[in-house]
Amino acid sequence: MKKAVIVGMGFGGLRAAQTLAGNGVEVLVIDRRNFQLFQPLLFQVATASLEQEHIAYPARAALRKWKGIQFRLGEVTGIDLDTKTVHLEDGTVSYDYLILAAGSVTHYFGMKSIEEQSFDLKSLDKTVQLRTHILEKFEHASRETDPAKRRALLSFVVVGGGPAGVEFAGALQELIQYELAKDYPCLSMAETRIVLLEARGTLLPFLAEKQRDYAVRQLTKKGIEVALNTQVSGAEPGKVLLANGSHISCHTIVWSAGVKAAPIADILGLCSGANGRIVVEPDLTVAGRPEVFVVGDIAYREQDGRPLPMVAQVAMQGGTYAAKTILRRIKGLQVRPFRYLDKGNMAIIGRNDAALNAFGFKLNGFLAWVFWLGLHLFYLPGMRNRTMVFINWLYTYLFRAQQIRIISGPPAAREETCLHKAKIVTPPHPG
């Protein structure tokens, strides 16, 4: 029996495991976490709409229903392509076929100060820290008598105009408007400030021009400052530095301006493309290694003259394709090159408001918002998670209440996080 090893249990790795299950292949899935994380909803954990366990699902529970699939918790430290061996911190495993689906990490473009003084929306622990940090800034502001210092405490800078940045900014504004305004009657919400910075000339570039303009108008209407063609050059305690020489006083920076391939791509020393991604052949294999597949954010492949985007759709389709290709090759059958089918894109802007572009249909507003909710519920792993998320969404919608306003963690650790004395390290996450 052939053995396939899958590194990473994100969208791509999970689809590959599901496709291989019950087809006479021994499959081992390796991940550094023991749960599958639904990253598209991390921004709602950060803004007190959802509990963190509602968007995470135990890895073994997800895999045990599929025949022939095993799971191993571990950190991959290296891969020997010649001996077909994966090296872990606590041992090695061999393979006949390898699927690399290790995903991506946050890309800071070499700005160490930003890495150390910002939060991202890629990991569960950092997202919970961000929620705590936001609430603590309001606590500190409620005691601050200096107007300038209070204004800085209540200023939040979001860098990156993709879906993560837009969705977080909109959700944060609603948290402030509908909950924190009532929690802190001593504060004037007019002093709060949310600034969304984007280096390019548009938000949500995957949408049509009218939809991009619509997103800017809706965010502005909500009171969010949108600054296009604005580059960040670094950060200092209490401020974000801009490339034009100015700065924004704030104590909270949320970085969603880009991602790059997980560090394992560098370890392998293979040919790399943009953002450190591994260049793959038309069948998603590494050149000269027909048994090694690379899928999702970590893979670089151009289609119709453009690199495939680093999104969940590409990872899921790539994982399914890689698994089917393995099964066909075991049977001695020919395979067609991978072809990505873009099913569309969407982003939620706020309550009753989203933008959707799928299969030629362009929707803005309430219907797009409903579709966004339904699609995310459909792909969220675990019936319990779907039920709890639906209940939370319904409660929030009916009562405009975001109940998970919990400041958690030891005080010393929280203070260290707030002051950014500790280095923030973004671990690799499967995609």
Asked if residue 45 lies in contact with residue 124, where contact means CB atoms within 8 angstroms, the answer is: yes
Q: Active-site residue 167, yes or no? A: yes
The number of residues making up the chain comes to: 431
| Amino acid identity for residue 278 in this structure | I
Candidate list 51, 115, 167, 198, residue with the active-site label: 167
Q: Enumerate the active-site residues.
A: 167
